[in-house]
Amino acid sequence: MTSTTTGDLIAWSDHYSVGIPRIDAEHRRLMDLVNQLHRAIHNGKQDSATSEVLDALASYTITHFTGEEGLMKRHAYPEYAQHKAEHDKLVAQVRTLQQEARSGKPVSRDVMSFLSSWLTGHILAVDRKYRAHMIAACAK
**Euclidean distance between CA atoms 72 and 77, whole angstroms:** 5
CA proximity to 19, closest of 140, 139, 132 = 132
Alpha helices (H) in 9-139, listed in sequence order: 21-42, 48-74, 80-102, 109-121, 131-139
Section 32-48 average pLDDT: 81
Q: What is the pLDDT of residues 84-127, one digit of tens each?
A: 999 999 999 988 988 888 888 888 778 888 899 999 999 999 99
Give 140's pLDDT tier (boundaries 50, 70, 90): low
pTM above 0.95, yes or no: no
The amino acid present at 107, given as its one-letter code, is: V
Section 18-29 average pLDDT: 94
pLDDT at res. 2: 45
**Euclidean distance between CA atoms 28 and 64, whole angstroms:** 11
Greatest CA separation found in the chain?
Answer: 51
Distance of CA 64 to the CA centre of its chain: 8
**Euclidean distance between CA atoms 90 and 86, whole angstroms:** 6
Who contacts 55 (Cβ-Cβ below 8 Å, separation ≥6)? 98
Section 64-78 average pLDDT: 95
Q: How many CB atoms lie under 10 A from the CB of residue 66?
A: 11
pLDDT at res. 8: 87
pLDDT higher than 50, residue 75: yes
Q: What is the mean pLDDT of the chain?
A: 87
Q: Are 75 and 88 in contact (CB under 8 A)?
A: no
Domains of the chain: 18-139 (1.20.120.50)
Section 57-78 average pLDDT: 94
For residue 125, the 8-state DSSP code is: I
pLDDT at res. 45: 65
